[in-house]
Structure 1
């Protein structure tokens, strides 16, 4: 099963405070463990929400909202995409993670939907389209920039 592991933002990460060399080293070592174990599929840090945008949908209307966004505790500062056997395995990996922030921090783990989760509404044609698009996207990710 795939899970999205989200590092929640803090006031420091939202202020653009960069991690120390020690923290970057610890996280690099942790990421190396994840890769060697075949768990990590992707992972990135995110710029503060002040550099972000939101698009609000209301019927056919679209409204663009500039950051920063008020509720820091609801924002994501970084993420991983992992392939694990169970939610329990994901929790065990997070328990081993260095604290991603200097003070208190929180990491949220959410399961990624798989094709079987959608039931009959996800027709064979839609599944084929999804597989084709996923293959195209993976090919783009693996090309040098």
Structure 2
């Protein structure tokens, strides 16, 4: 089962603020966590995203397209980074997520969503 694991943004991550020494310590801890995911053959891909101020949204309405420049409101609803994992089931994904170092300097959240597989689509 493949799952996308989202690291939710915070107001600080949207401002690009990552204080030292937290950044160095977190990057080292996250590196060890990613190595463990790789060793367990779970990690497919992982990366961080720049703040939404550097992004754009494309809205669709029939044939029309509307482009909105970032930054976008409500940082807690945005994604700051992600992993793509291949796990046995949601329980295994949860077990790995609980082992993850806190990806932000304060309260933060990780969201796990399963990907559709061909068998789900009939």
Same fold (TM over 0.5): yes
CA deviation after TM superposition for structure 1 residue 26, in Å? 0.2
RMSD value over aligned CA atoms? 0.7
Listed one character per residue, the Cα deviations across residues 88-135 of structure 1 (whole Å, up to 9, x for unaligned) are 00000000000000100000000000111111xxxxxxxxxxxxxxxx
Higher strand share: 2
Larger helix fraction of residues: 1
Match of 2:73 among 70, 78, 84: 70
Name which one, 1 or 2, has greater alpha-carbon Rg: 1
Out of 96, 99, 113, the residue aligned to residue 99 of structure 2 is: 96
TM-score by length of 2: 0.96
User: Unpaired segments of 5 or more residues in structure 1?
Assistant: 120-145
Give how far 1:73 is off. Answer: 1.1
- 1:52 pairs, out of 49, 52, 55, with 55
Q: Where do 4+ consecutive residues of structure 1 move more than 3 Å?
A: none
Moved more, 66-75 or 17-26: 17-26
For 1:70 and 1:11, how far apart are their aligned partners in 2? 10
**Which of 79, 82, 86 is the aligned partner of 1:79?**
82
1:34 to 34, 37, 47: 37
**Under a length normalisation based on structure 1, what TM-score does the superposition of the two structures give?**
0.81
Task: Give the count of matched residue pairs.
Answer: 119
Mapped partners of 1:10, 1:97: distance in 2: 17
Q: Deviations over 1:2-44 (max 9, x none)?
A: 0000000000100011361000000000000000000000000
Distance in 1 (CA, whole Å) between partners of 2:3 and 2:17 is: 27
Matched residue, 2:11: 11
Output the CA distance in 2 between the equivalents of 1:44 and 1:17.
17
